[in-house]
Amino acid sequence: MKYETYSEYNSRKAGLAESALLTIWPNLEAWQDDLVLVGGLVPRYICGDVSTPRALPRPVTIDADIGIALAASAGGMASIQFALLEKDFHKSTNPEGFIRYEKKVGDYSVPVDFLTEDPPSTRGTRIVGDILV
């Protein structure tokens, strides 16, 4: 979900998106060569002084988006889904009907989306490793 203005974002939810990424990233070590951070969290790490106090963290996003290569595989018996389940993330569906993973934190579900490109397709899902993207 994207809001029209900065002030519409809830600072607690925006902070949870980064927390979700930092929670699962170590569990995805076996696939990290095939993963890249995309979306709203990217500028936080490459733009401006993030140490300056703000009402909301910059940039503002309420989910973590991870790009994944179509050929992602850790080999052996490793499972991306199991790595996510170990950190209490569960499979769900976003408002557009696409698969995502979420973790319930208090009264809010923090979403993590895995995204990929599979030209010439512009919509739909693909199986990468053992997850739908």
For residue 61, the tally of other CB atoms under 10 A from its CB is 22
- CA-based R_g, the chain, Å: 15
Q: Is the pTM of this model over 0.85?
A: no
Cα separation values, 54 from 40, 46, 51, 87, Å: 17, 17, 9, 29
**Bond before 120 cis per omega within 30 degrees:** yes
Average pLDDT taken over every residue of the chain: 77
**Bond before 95 cis per omega within 30 degrees:** no
C-alpha 127/C-alpha 89 separation (Å) is 18
Q: Are strands 64-68 and 108-115 parallel, antiparallel or unpaired?
A: parallel
Q: Which has more pLDDT, 116 or 121?
A: 116
Instruction: State both tokens at 36.
Output: 């890249």
Q: Which has more pLDDT, 29 or 132?
A: 29
User: Is it the case that residue 54 has pLDDT exceeding 80?
Assistant: no
C-alpha 127/C-alpha 124 separation (Å) is 10
Q: Show me where the domains of the chain are located.
A: 6-132
**32 three-class SS:** helix
**pLDDT tens-digit map of 75-114:** 554 688 888 888 899 988 877 777 888 988 888 888 888 8
